[in-house]
Each structure stands twice: as C-alpha cells, then as structure tokens.
Structure 1
Amino acid sequence: MNPVSAPKEERESVSALLKLLKHGALEQSEPAAYKLVSPSGEVTELPASVLLLLGRVIEVLARGDALTVVPVGKELTTQQAANLLNVSRQYFVRLLDDGRLPFRKTGTHRRVRIEDVLAYARQRDRDRMASLDDLAQLSQDYGGYQEIPTED
C-alpha cells in the first residue's frame, strides 16, 4: 500500500495522456476503443471499466498528487489505518474501543475494513468543515477581525 506519484519529469507526458483519454473516451457517450500493445506486439482492447479506472488514476497523477489503489473489502491493521488517517496508532485504537469504527478481531489483533476507515475520514472532514463554517459565521456575527490599515 505504498503511494505512487509521477515524478516531475513525467508530469508533462502524464498530462498529455490525460488529454488523450478525455478527448477520446471519458467525455464521449460512446467511448473510443483503446488498445494496449505489449512489447512483443500483442494487442488487447481495454475494457471500459479498466479505461475508467485508468482515467481516474491519470487525473490524480497529472495533478501531481500521489495515490494508492486498494481493493474494496481489504482489511487493514490498526497501524495501516492510523497511517491512512494520519493519526497515532494509540489514538486509532481508542476510536475502535469507543465504538466509533467497526472492527473484528483475529486472535488479539484488530482488523478494520478500508471502507469503514474511509467513511470515517469523510465524516471527520465534513464535521471539521462544518465547525470551521460555524466559527467563521461567529466571527462575522461579532464584527470579524479589524482591518489592518495599509500605507499608501
């Protein structure tokens, strides 16, 4: 589960590939047929599902972001899940013990489904944004911050 990103020297060609895909497949109601050619010359047509996933991967790489592809249903260790959420393992275990995320035990080890971890992360982010919106509204309601005078 190591993230992959396009090195700077490859970003231009990744962006060109994204334009090619968008032009031919991702924006048309009838996608064009794309084919993969092996070094030996064997040609295989890419199924629509593979093309859609490839398009999403290329979009992320073209932005310069890293990504990790994880199969749905994959179970994570508490350390892997904590890393994904960018929290300590101890904090993550406390979330599990408090019932904030479902898990199962294999012997003495806890396992969590990636979908549950990602759903928790989405909800956490929505809650954070709502709190920030409330804080910004309070600031506006009470006059906000004073303007800093500028010298002309």
Structure 2
Amino acid sequence: MEGKRTQRPRLVGPKGETLELPEPVFHLLRQIVTVLARGDAVTVVPVHKELTSQQAADLLNVSRQYLVRLLDEGAIPYTKTGKHRRIRINDLLAYKQKRDAEREAALDELAQMSQDVGGYSECG
C-alpha cells in the first residue's frame, strides 16, 4: 500500500519517553515479561560469561560431581584457572540444548514403541 509506514517497536517509559527497539529485542522483552508474569526468575548473562562448576551444575540441574565427569569426558569444553574449572555459558547452553533434544527424541521413540505394541489402548 502506498504511503503506509510500518511502525517500529518502541519502549515507552513512565514519563512518556520513548526508545525505538529492534524487532528481535521486542520479541525478547515480550518473552521476559511472560516469564516474569508467571512468577519465574530471569537472568541475563553475556554469552562470554564463565561459570564455576557449581553454577554450571545448578543451571543443568545436576550434581557438581556429575558435571565434573561430563567436563572430564569432553562433553562440555572448559578452561582451568588454577585448580578451578570455568565453563563458558554459551558452551553450557549448547550442551543443554543438545541434551534436551536427545531426551525429547528418546521419549518420542519410547512413546512410538509403546504405541506399536498396543501400550496406549483406550479403556472402556
């Protein structure tokens, strides 16, 4: 349509001040607001941030000992500062995404196998 201008997303402050936002930032803020409205917490971390082994274990919801085993097996890259292991957040999130996708695929396969042998029959 001629003359039609699409509006860019804007953040409006309490005193009416506005800030234009790139569309991806708008979508991110919308997701954050949704999560906060549920009562969940949100943490914003730079991708180059390094975590301690305990912080990384907490993020994966596993024990620190299990995380250390994953590090020693090479499943997640890490560096050492003295005796302390440091894990980059982006490496940890990549591992988590891969792990979650593998779990989802395994659950789908189990459900399909159960369905194939009649495990989900209707009760009547």
Q: TM-score band, normalised by the shorter chain?
A: 0.7 to 0.9
Deviation at 1:124, TM superposition (A): 0.7
Structure 1 segments, 4+ long, off by >6 Å, are none
For 2:7, the equivalent position in structure 1 comes to: 30
Identity of matched residues, %: 56
Deviation at 1:57, TM superposition (A): 1.7
Aligned-residue Cα RMSD (Å) equals: 2.5
The answer to which of 69-78 and 90-99 deviates more is: 69-78
Q: TM-score, normalised by structure 2?
A: 0.80
Deviation at 1:129, TM superposition (A): 0.7
For 1:128, the equivalent position in structure 2 comes to: 103
What are the superposed Cα offsets for residues 45-86 of structure 1, whole Å, 9 maximum, x if unpaired?
324159624333212212443221111211000000000000
Alignment partner for residue 86 of structure 1, among 58, 61, 75? 61
Deviation at 1:105, TM superposition (A): 0.5
Q: Does 1:45 align with 2:18?
A: yes
- List runs of 5+ in structure 1 lacking aligned partners: 1-27
For 1:21, the equivalent position in structure 2 comes to: none
Count how many residue pairs are aligned between Structure 1 and Structure 2: 118
Deviation at 1:142, TM superposition (A): 1.2
Deviation at 1:145, TM superposition (A): 4.1
Q: Does 1:98 align with 2:98?
A: no
Q: Does 1:111 align with 2:86?
A: yes
- Counterpart CA distance in 1 for 2:25 and 2:92 is 27
Q: Map 1:8-19 onto structure 2 (within 5 A).
A: none
- List runs of 5+ in structure 2 lacking aligned partners: none
- Counterpart CA distance in 2 for 1:115 and 1:121 is 10
